[in-house]
Amino acid sequence: MSLERFIKIIVSKFLLIFCIGILTASIIFFLTTNEEKQFTSKAVINTGVVSGYNIENHNSDSRIDRDYTRNEIENLINLATAFETLEMLSIRLIAHYLELEEADVELISEEGFEEINSVFTGSLSYDDLKQENIEKTITHLEYLIDTFNNRSLIELVYSDHQFFGLEQLQKIRVNRKGGSDLIEFSYTTSDPYVCRKTLQLLSEVFFEKHRLLKEGQSEDVLGYFEEATRESRDKLKLAEDKLLRFRVDNQIINYYEQTRFIADKKEDLDEMVLKEQMQLQGAISSKKRIDSQLKNRGLLSELNNALLSKRDQLSEITKKLTLFELSGPNDKYDDSSKASWINQREQLESEINSITLQSHNIKYTPEGLLSDELLSSWLKSVIQVETSKSRLDALNSRKEEFQTIYAQFAPWGSRLKKIEREIALAEEAYLENLHSFNQARLHLQNTIMSSNLRILDAPFLPIKDNGSKRVLLILVGFAVGIFITLGIIILMEFLDNTMKTPSEVADRLKLEVAGVLPKLPNPNTGFTNPSQINFLSIRNRAIEILYQRLLINKKRSNSDPFIMIVSSMRGKEGVSFVSQLIKKRFQKDIQKVLCLEPEQSFSGAIHGLTADTIYYKEYESFVEAKSIENWLDRIGPNGWASNYQNVIIEVPAIIGTSFPLHLFKDANDFLLVCRSNRVWSKADAYSLDLLNESLRKPPIIMLNGVRLESMEEFLGELPKSRSRARRWIKNLVNFNFSIKDKI
């Protein structure tokens, strides 16, 4: 919707909008005739959330947690406006004003005292509610409300009474002052003294509930950690006692030192056993080697005897050879004996050498030692072997004792580790709970110190009333009435789905809008509105534009006569009226026009009818007609094709008629008349599709009954008188800042 369109809607509905605004303002005027004076008092509370001293974090350069601060301030605000807080405030107000026997200028005005006296009657009498002192009165009122023993009191507390009702007390406003830790209580009521007293009692109730809430939370936490600390301490003591009994029962002084000592001794013992085994193996090996060296010593005497025997034999042979060499001629020795003796001597020498060598090998070791020296070595080896065996037996016996000790200490270690782990866990839990307990105590003290709320500005007595807002309410009511009415009108305009403007029709139907006709005023006043608008001139301009479009189409079709069909989708669209206007415009240019209209459209009162109009029956000759020309030959005058330049055929509404659509294809143009104040339905769309299929070219639209404000987008500026200011505003709305009326 354009700005110009919006302003035109406002102008057209200005009287309705203004009257509804006046009506709304008048209603508010009469409703506020007996308006009471209102008084407002305020109180400022210092919460100390930001600027208060904090034991838990007292560093001067510590940063402020804004989320925590905002959360604390919001908690305080919600606590001050909580239902239970306001309920306690109402009870205390009732208790305080029950103590009054006469009007007190410090507590209530004369009018307020009369109001209170009218309340405390019947079941709410002073005798039933008032007690010895104000504390007992408060306790008694709380009891009556909690036990539902006084229905009238409950109704008073939960009513909208101007002094005691919760609905009235809920008007108390609690706000944070900027980004500080100050909160402001604000209350408005009809009595200034009651207003101040209400804020005073609210501060007391608020301080009390805040203190109980903070201390209650901290004490609950403190009690929890105190109990947890005691339980963890008892568990730690039980674990330590268990460790003590285990050490005493098993005579363990220091398990880890003892096991380390035993392990060291066992390693030493293993090393000693290894060395002793090495020595034993060395002694056994030495003894075996000496035994192998001494095993042939018995053969030495045999070799000596054999050597002596061989030596004697060699001596005898040598003697014979000597004698043979020393023999004379008379001796009886021959050469063969000599050779035999020589051979025997050589053999004996060889045997002696062998025996001598064997004797030497037996007498000396391969290392060159005498066999006699091996005996002492052998004796030492035997002694060392026996000694090593005895030491190994003692060491193995000691080793078995260590295995017994290991078997005893191994499970002790696991059990001791388990007990120590239990002690460590119990000690860790005890220290953690002790730390949490100390933190809770610290937090409790910090809460007591930091939650010490103080009144910075006490509630004051509002001597001057707030002033009447009657004028403002009337103006607001007037504006609200105007805007609501305007909103409804704009909403109805948006929801209006009728074909009100040519551009909307063209976009919706995808067809050319060839002409528009304005919505005419009441016929009793004529076509001319003398004040501003000349409807006859507007209609003539619209018909002229349509006529120019038809002439262009006639020239393009190059047919004579020019056959045009005028119809509509539904009845009462103004088809006959449009047909007659088109006929008159053609005749104005001295063009002969033949007009065919359905018989039921004839009324005998249509202005300007001539003899060139034929009324046909709807079903006349349709079946036999094969074309428009053939149909006109049957019902039209003789020689119609040569006598008339234009033929206008008015066809009944397409929806609900049986006019053959196949005849439409022979028409040179099809003008579809649509009424702008109706909705284009699905049936219209379906019929339009059938119509498009039956025509050689798409039909053109004639929009009838268009509102004047929508005519300008087709005809331009309407001919009516306008003041200079109105023309300037219109140019301003259309952003035409440099447009001039003349060159």
- For the stretch 336-355, pLDDT in tens is 777 787 787 778 777 777 76
Q: Answer yes or no: is 255 within a domain.
A: no
Both tokens of 242, joined, read 């268990």
Whether the predicted pLDDT of 665 surpasses 70:
yes
* Separation between Cα atoms, residue 49 and residue 54, nearest integer Å: 9
Low-confidence winner among 282-286, 539-543, 684-688 (lowest mean pLDDT): 282-286
Whether the predicted pLDDT of 328 surpasses 50:
no
176 plus 283 within the same structural domain: no
Give the position of tokens 């005493």: 248
Both tokens of 373, joined, read 């020296």
Q: Are strands 173-176 and 182-189 parallel, antiparallel or unpaired?
A: antiparallel
Distances, alpha carbon 125 to alpha carbons 121, 225, 672, in Å: 4, 50, 86
Mean pLDDT of 74-87: 89
27 plus 129 within the same structural domain: yes
293 plus 146 within the same structural domain: no
Yes or no: say if 486 and 10 are a contact pair by the CB < 8 Å rule: yes
- Report the range out of 381-385, 404-408, 469-473, 693-697 with the highest average pLDDT: 693-697
Mean pLDDT of 502-517: 86
Last residue within a domain, chosen from 359, 374, 409: 409
Q: Answer yes or no: is 396 within a domain.
A: yes
% of the chain residues with pLDDT over 70: 74
Question: How many structural domains does the chain have?
Answer: 3
Q: Answer yes or no: is 194 within a domain.
A: yes
Q: How many residues are present in the chain?
A: 743
Q: Which residues pair with 276 in a beta bridge?
A: none
Both tokens of 39, joined, read 């008084």
* Separation between Cα atoms, residue 153 and residue 159, nearest integer Å: 10
pLDDT grade for 682, boundaries at 50, 70 and 90: confident
Would you state the pLDDT for residue 227? 84
Would you state the pLDDT for residue 130? 82
pLDDT grade for 281, boundaries at 50, 70 and 90: confident
Yes or no: say if 676 and 498 are a contact pair by the CB < 8 Å rule: yes
505 plus 395 within the same structural domain: no
Whether the predicted pLDDT of 259 surpasses 50:
yes
* Separation between Cα atoms, residue 232 and residue 234, nearest integer Å: 5
Distances, alpha carbon 456 to alpha carbons 43, 207, 220, in Å: 8, 13, 31
CATH number of domain containing 616? 3.40.50.300
CATH number of domain containing 332? 1.10.287
Domain span holding position 43: 4-53+66-202
Exposure letters 575-585 (e unless 16+ CB within 10 A, then b): bbebbbbbbeb
639 plus 514 within the same structural domain: yes
687 plus 549 within the same structural domain: yes
Whether the predicted pLDDT of 359 surpasses 70:
no
Whether the predicted pLDDT of 529 surpasses 60:
no
Both tokens of 458, joined, read 């006490």
Last residue within a domain, chosen from 357, 382, 409: 409
Distances, alpha carbon 556 to alpha carbons 489, 565, 641, in Å: 45, 17, 19
578 plus 674 within the same structural domain: yes
What's phi and psi for 672, nearest 5 deg?
Answer: -100, 115
10 plus 129 within the same structural domain: yes
Last residue within a domain, chosen from 175, 202, 229: 202
Whether the predicted pLDDT of 423 surpasses 80:
yes
What's phi and psi for 31, nearest 5 deg?
Answer: -70, -25
The predicted model scores a pTM of 0.45
Both tokens of 253, joined, read 């002084």
Would you state the pLDDT for residue 287? 67
Would you state the pLDDT for residue 258? 73
Where do runs of H (alpha helix) occur along 39-82? Answer: 66-80
304 plus 387 within the same structural domain: yes
Mean pLDDT of 658-666: 77
Reported as a single tens digit per residue, the pLDDT across 195-249 is 888 999 999 898 888 877 776 666 667 777 788 888 888 888 888 887 788 778 7
Would you state the pLDDT for residue 587? 85
Reported as a single tens digit per residue, the pLDDT across 472-490 is 888 898 899 889 988 888 8
Q: Are strands 613-616 and 512-518 parallel, antiparallel or unpaired?
A: unpaired
Tell me whether the omega of the peptide bond preceding residue 521 falls within 30 degrees of 0, making it cis: no
Mean pLDDT of 248-252: 77
Q: Answer yes or no: is 606 within a domain.
A: yes
Yes or no: say if 542 and 714 are a contact pair by the CB < 8 Å rule: yes
H or E element in which residue 597 lies: strand 593-598
* Separation between Cα atoms, residue 507 and residue 442, nearest integer Å: 78
Whether the predicted pLDDT of 534 surpasses 50:
yes
pLDDT grade for 622, boundaries at 50, 70 and 90: low
182 plus 276 within the same structural domain: no
Q: Give the sign of the dihedral formed by CA 486, CA 489, CA 495, CA 496.
A: negative
- Name the residue with higher pLDDT: 150 or 480: 480
Reported as a single tens digit per residue, the pLDDT across 31-80 is 877 767 788 899 998 887 766 555 555 554 555 667 778 888 888 889 88
Q: Answer yes or no: is 26 within a domain.
A: yes
pLDDT grade for 145, boundaries at 50, 70 and 90: confident
- Name the residue with higher pLDDT: 116 or 443: 116
How many Cβ atoms sit within 10 Å of the Cβ of residue 638?
A: 8
- Report the range out of 191-205, 394-408, 418-432, 600-614 with the highest average pLDDT: 191-205
530 plus 640 within the same structural domain: yes
Low-confidence winner among 225-239, 401-415, 658-672 (lowest mean pLDDT): 401-415
In 3D space, the residue among 581, 577, 514, 579 whose CA is nearest the CA of residue 548 turns out to be 514
Both tokens of 597, joined, read 């209209």
Where do runs of H (alpha helix) occur along 99-191? Answer: 110-119, 126-129, 134-146, 151-157, 166-169
* Separation between Cα atoms, residue 288 and residue 293, nearest integer Å: 9
How many Cβ atoms sit within 10 Å of the Cβ of residue 129?
A: 19
Q: Answer yes or no: is 478 within a domain.
A: no
Both tokens of 584, joined, read 């008159």
Whether the predicted pLDDT of 607 surpasses 50:
no
H or E element in which residue 399 lies: helix 371-450
Output DSSP code: residue 520: P
169 plus 72 within the same structural domain: yes
Both tokens of 256, joined, read 């880890």
Whether the predicted pLDDT of 722 surpasses 60:
no
Q: Answer yes or no: is 344 within a domain.
A: yes
* Separation between Cα atoms, residue 116 and residue 477, nearest integer Å: 34
Yes or no: say if 164 and 116 are a contact pair by the CB < 8 Å rule: no
Would you state the pLDDT for residue 424? 85
Low-confidence winner among 125-134, 232-241, 284-293, 499-508 (lowest mean pLDDT): 284-293
Whether the predicted pLDDT of 528 surpasses 50:
no
Exposure letters 545-574 (e unless 16+ CB within 10 A, then b): ebbebbeebbeebeeebbbbbbbbbbeebb
Mean pLDDT of 307-311: 68
Q: How far is CA 457 from the centre of its chain?
A: 43
How many Cβ atoms sit within 10 Å of the Cβ of residue 182?
A: 20
% of the chain residues with pLDDT over 90: 2
Q: Please, how many CA atoms are within 13 Å of residue 667, restricted to the half-sphere of its CB?
A: 26
pLDDT grade for 186, boundaries at 50, 70 and 90: very high
Mean pLDDT of 701-708: 85
Reported as a single tens digit per residue, the pLDDT across 734-743 is 555 555 555 4
Both tokens of 75, joined, read 């908690």
Mean pLDDT of 107-133: 79
Distances, alpha carbon 566 to alpha carbons 648, 677, 700, 702, in Å: 7, 19, 10, 9
In 3D space, the residue among 455, 458, 445, 456 whose CA is nearest the CA of residue 53 turns out to be 445
Q: Answer yes or no: is 490 within a domain.
A: no
Both tokens of 436, joined, read 């949490």
Whether the predicted pLDDT of 604 surpasses 50:
no
